[in-house]
């Protein structure tokens, strides 16, 4: 695997080595030993999640805090998304900064999202299958989020005039300023 740290400390792009032959292709989507060697991080994933979304769906920017925070290893099995993370670690030099990447079933790239980050994605193709490993369990009562279009974050979602499909609860998320209070 090829591992590249993003502009946000502890957030990594993971590119598996893909083997192609007349049968199709094969790649190892996760190897705990190699991950630790290349990132310096030891992560114990406790669950896998998967969503299937239509083009135009925006999920996020979600997070859990404190002992409920989650690190995630995210990837697209089929389709394509614009994946976005925001560093919410107040002690970090990149606090409030974001990073985005196209993840697709074709490029097989993955993104490791450390604890203390908000995460979201915008679906660019119909019937996109999004998979993510988490190192902590989901706790509905502490789920939080920041509005995807918060002007202080100024994230370029490349939405243009497209209609965003967004849950009402995600329209009501806090602003970045509210998070900082």
Q: Which residue among the candidates 132, 137, 138, 148 is catalytic per the annotation?
A: 132
Q: What is the dihedral of CA 50, 51, 55, 60, to 10 degrees?
A: -100
Query: What CATH number has the domain bearing residue 26?
Result: 2.60.120.10
CA distance 128 to 138: 22
CA distance 170 to 86: 16
In terms of Cα–Cα distance, which of 57, 44, 56 is closest to 137? Answer: 44
CA distance 155 to 98: 7
pLDDT at 161: 55
Q: Which residue among the candidates 54, 62, 138, 148 is catalytic per the annotation?
A: 62
| Structure confidence by residue, pLDDT tens digits, 134-160 | 999 999 999 999 999 999 999 999 886
Return phi, psi of residue 97, to 5°. -90, 155
CA distance 156 to 98: 10
Task: Supply the range of the domain harboring residue 19.
Answer: 2-180
* 62 flagged as catalytic: yes
Q: What are 169's two structure tokens? A: 């609860």
| Structure confidence by residue, pLDDT tens digits, 110-120 | 999 999 999 99
* 138 flagged as catalytic: no
């Amino acid at each position: 695997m090829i591992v590249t740290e993003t502009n946000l400390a502890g957030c990594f792009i993971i590119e598996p080595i893909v083997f192609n032959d007349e049968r199709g292709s094969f790649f190892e989507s996760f190897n705990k030993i190699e991950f630790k060697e290349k990132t310096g991080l030891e992560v114990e994933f406790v669950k896998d999640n998967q969503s299937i979304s239509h083009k135009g769906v925006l999920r996020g920017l979600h997070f859990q805090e404190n002992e409920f925070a989650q690190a995630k290893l995210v990837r697209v099995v089929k389709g394509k998304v614009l994946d976005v993370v925001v560093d919410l670690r107040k002690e970090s030099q990149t606090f409030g900064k974001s990073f985005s990447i196209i993840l697709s079933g074709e490029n097989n790239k993955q993104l490791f999202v450390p604890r203390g980050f908000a995460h979201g994605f915008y679906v660019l193709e119909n019937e996109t299958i999004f998979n993510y490993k988490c190192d902590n369990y989901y706790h509905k009562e502490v789920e939080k989020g920041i509005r995807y279009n918060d002007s202080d974050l100024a994230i370029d979602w490349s939405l243009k005039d497209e209609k965003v499909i967004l849950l009402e609860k995600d329209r009501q998320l806090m602003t970045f300023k509210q998070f900082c209070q």
